[in-house]
Structure 1
Amino acid sequence: MGPSLYTFKGAVYDRVADADVRVRSDAQITSMMARKQSYYSERTVYPWVTEEDLETDLLDAVRDALRANDADHPWLSLSDGELLRAARLYGRDQLTGERGFNLAAVALLGKEDTILDVMPLYRTDAVLRRVETDRYDDRLVCKSNLVRAYDELVVFCEKWLPDSFVLDGGQRKSARDVIVRELVCNCLIHREFISPHIARITIDREGIRTSNASRALFAGPVTLESLDPTPKNPIIANFFTQMGRSEELGSGTRNLYKFSRLYTGKDPVLEDGDRFTAFVPVPPVMASMVGSGGDREAAKGTERSGAVGGSRRSRTRAEVESAVDNLIARYGSFPASAVSEQVTSVGERTVRRYLSDMVKEGKLVCAPRGRSTTYRSGNSADSLGGDC
């Protein structure tokens, strides 16, 4: 590890643990250069950016957060321009000597057009993959500035993660809320904004995963024993700290370990390098709720339709319709296996028969897709029915 790029016979190499790894792509070389520089990209000044290019109306919400965190915060008495300068969002570029708003100001408060001009590849892609694992069940492509993006991403994650309360020092707390806050904060404020890598948040059957470009001096697993935090974007991190959305350097990792153990009894998996990746598992009860329909079908066996009496058929049909309503409300479309996971009193073959009846009645429409079939509401204007 060193401050320069190292080449041998025209090839660029990087040091990863005890190995010399050949770097081939331009994106990897760009990430290496950003990591090795002592200059923080967030300090890059763009003289053409003015206050009109920023969402200065967000400063009222920022002041509300400052006041809630510290009623006597010194920024509360400042004008908009003075606050931006106090937060070091306006200053002098160390390399060019020019004065103006820096990349941190654009990332924190910039309008979408301004962000696109400064950081063309900036966005955070949040997806839910539980039923449609080959595609997605829900998605949020967040291109807002960091102040807005924090709220949008926290709402998305809290919507799809179970809220299990835990006891911490005798106090009842939401482990989910702490974990979501730490993961979203890290994904937003500790990323390398000039990197071409897209930041991603994925919620699947096992847990929540994040991935973002990083500017780390060393690559490898991040544990409590090996924790040696280094600042990635000190200006942006300080802005979030003043708002009460983050704490001192290194506290996020400790909180993730602490509340992940309270949440599921398991440790998170964190790894830093040119990309920072994090994984926090969900509680076992949620994992079983979204488990494999094939495994559950094998456990309960195949049920013969002739063995079901009239009253039981009516009761089971009502259970299927209730499960269908829940899936449509949550996902919009669903496969038969998702209904079978919720209606455990009959086999998947019976569930498919009820779904076929609902298609004939016009309550559902189906869309064959390869070997699988998805269903959605028959009242949906953009739904196209078919023979299933």
Structure 2
Amino acid sequence: MISDIGIIKSLVENGEGLTVEFKESRISLNKDVYDTVCAFLNRHGGTILLGVDDNKNIVGVDKDCVQAIKETFVTTVNNPQKINPPTYLSVDPVEIDGKTVLHIYVPESSQVHRCGAKIFDRNEDGDLDITNNTDMVSRLYQRKQSSYSENKIFPYTGLEDIELSLLAKCRKTATIRRGDHPWKDMDDMDLLQSAQLYQIDRETGKSGLTLAGILLLGKHASVLSAVPHHRTDLILRKVNLDRYDDRDLVEVNLVESYDRILAFIAKHLPDPFYLEGTTNISLRDTIFREVASNILIHREYMNAFPAKLIIEKGLVRTENSNRPHGMGIINPASFTPYPKNPVIARFFRQIGLADELGSGVRNLMKYGKAYGGENPELIEGDIFKIIIKVPEFGGGKDSGDSAGQGTKLALSRHQVKILEMCLTESSISDLMSIEGRSDRTKFRNQVLKPLITAGLLEMTEPDKPTSSKQKYRATEKGKERLTTYRY
């Protein structure tokens, strides 16, 4: 999570409220900080600032205590004896006027949480203990159940309905990302319960996987049994506009769906060379990781509308069913993130397939213009839509990045490798071996032809394009172009 100093200062200036809480916490955590975490989880989420007193003074957290406070907080919110169900939150240090403020963002949860044995709700700028108020507790449970379909319990489902090898892979990924991750020492059922993917219906006493659990990790038959209409339709439509040029109908669980979406994107969109500072990053992968996680996490799965990702000439657009909290084009400057499926989102974050709530919009805006020349559009409504302009393979325009480095964006990294290999004459077989291509016709049309048309590559037998003796070499223009690329 990256905290903006301006936003933090604005929160301090506006003071405490329904979604903002200050804790002085100079050398240790205030004991009631976990009451606030519980209240925010149960209400609308919110921001906790450690190092700010009740009078809006930034007093700062003692620098020698920062690490201990962070570790204590993260460990405690992961402990079901303190916060139940446990949650996974991060603590982000921010330096303001030489003082350290610890920023904690608590998203709204789709569950009802307890702190110790108590249930807290948020009321104005305070945490309200509602444990013994049966009416308020009942309304809280009803609100959560009616707002979040991901919590629907499927009685009598269990480990036999999920892909256990995929669950093991997710555990391994989470523990590689964080060595002390609580999943490390849990058995399969404990992990599912910890991640809120297996629950007990408090009205009937029946237990089972939730819709979130089946969607995330379920076997194919289990997913379609729970949600028969579930699918993500991936379409390439550039030549045959009435139908499609390529299509992948994805009906598997969400973790596997994520990989299928990115594979389809990699197959049909270029990955232009791009420098951020002195680091080469993949614009395509950075952008479409956010897109893939968005259409999987923020979908209303009770709606039969099929999610779509459509690649057209010069753009990609997505559509998925939605419970809107506004209408029209999202303004990133005033955008307030709202968790549509908090349990699914939290699981995706643990395995590195998503970042903190709201960061996806920021990343799309940050890199979208560099990739396709225009800012992406995100349109809120009953159908949530994303429109992203994209370059074509071998496109001829150059575009500078936001840092003003003048990085050219026309070539994919694959094409850069081709040019490098063609500094000496190379056969088509040699060139295809770079990334294991097997279809010569597609390789000529999609990779070599754009380079030749741009004057960066030439044939040794120009009058016999398909000659068995044909080789390719970089032109002087191509050699000059390579000098702009640094790995």
TM-score (norm 2): 0.52
Q: Does 1:198 align with 2:306?
A: yes
Shift of 1:119: 0.4
Alignment of 1:212-227 (within 5 A): 212-227=320-335
**Judging changes above 3 Å, is the alpha-carbon distance between structure 1 residues 38 and 220 closer, same or farther for their aligned structure 2 residues?**
farther
**Judging changes above 3 Å, is the alpha-carbon distance between structure 1 residues 167 and 39 closer, same or farther for their aligned structure 2 residues?**
same
Query: What SS does structure 2 have at the residue aligned with 1:165?
Result: coil
Q: Does 1:158 align with 2:273?
A: no
| Partner Cα distance (1:251, 1:97) in 2 | 38
Shift of 1:123: 0.5
Which residue is equivalent to 2:153? 45
Which residue is equivalent to 1:122? 230
Query: What SS does structure 1 have at the residue aligned with 2:209?
Result: strand
Name whichever structure is richer in helix by fraction: 1
Shift of 1:245: 0.9
**Contact 1:106–1:115 at 8 Å: present in 2 too?**
yes
Which residue is equivalent to 2:342? 234
Task: Pick the aligned partner of 2:279 from 163, 166, 171.
Answer: 171
> Gaps (5+ residues) in structure 2?
1-142, 398-438, 455-465, 467-487
| Partner Cα distance (1:127, 1:329) in 2 | 21
**Judging changes above 3 Å, is the alpha-carbon distance between structure 1 residues 222 and 95 closer, same or farther for their aligned structure 2 residues?**
farther
One-letter amino acid of the counterpart of residue 178, structure 1: T
Superposition CA RMSD, Å:
3.2
**Judging changes above 3 Å, is the alpha-carbon distance between structure 1 residues 112 and 258 closer, same or farther for their aligned structure 2 residues?**
same
Query: What SS does structure 2 have at the residue aligned with 1:211?
Result: strand
User: Which structure would you say has the larger RCO, counting Cα contacts within 8 Å and 6 or more residues apart?
Assistant: 1
Shift of 1:99: 2.2
Shift of 1:145: 0.3
Shift of 1:95: 6.4
> Gaps (5+ residues) in structure 1?
1-34, 290-324, 335-339, 346-357, 359-388
| Partner Cα distance (1:155, 1:206) in 2 | 19
Task: Pick the aligned partner of 1:131 from 226, 239, 252.
Answer: 239
**Judging changes above 3 Å, is the alpha-carbon distance between structure 1 residues 73 and 342 closer, same or farther for their aligned structure 2 residues?**
closer
Per-residue Cα deviation, 1:286-319 (whole angstroms, up to 9, x for no partner): 5669xxxxxxxxxxxxxxxxxxxxxxxxxxxxxx
| Partner Cα distance (2:367, 2:214) in 1 | 33
Which residue is equivalent to 1:84? 192
Query: What SS does structure 2 have at the residue aligned with 1:57?
Result: helix
Which residue is equivalent to 1:352? none
Task: Pick the aligned partner of 2:356 from 248, 259, 263.
Answer: 248
Shift of 1:111: 1.1
Taking only the aligned residue pairs, the percentage that are identical comes to 42
Per-residue Cα deviation, 1:29-76 (whole angstroms, up to 9, x for no partner): xxxxxx998520000001031211111121121123213321221111
Query: What SS does structure 1 have at the residue aligned with 2:281?
Result: strand
How many residues get paired?
274
Which residue is equivalent to 1:111? 219
Shift of 1:204: 1.2
Shift of 1:279: 1.1
One-letter amino acid of the counterpart of residue 228, structure 1: T
**Judging changes above 3 Å, is the alpha-carbon distance between structure 1 residues 96 and 261 closer, same or farther for their aligned structure 2 residues?**
farther
Alignment of 1:1-388 (within 5 A): 38-93=146-201, 98-283=206-391, 327-328=441-442
Query: What SS does structure 2 have at the residue aligned with 1:247?
Result: coil
| Partner Cα distance (1:137, 1:284) in 2 | 15
| Partner Cα distance (1:52, 1:197) in 2 | 28
One-letter amino acid of the counterpart of residue 174, structure 1: S
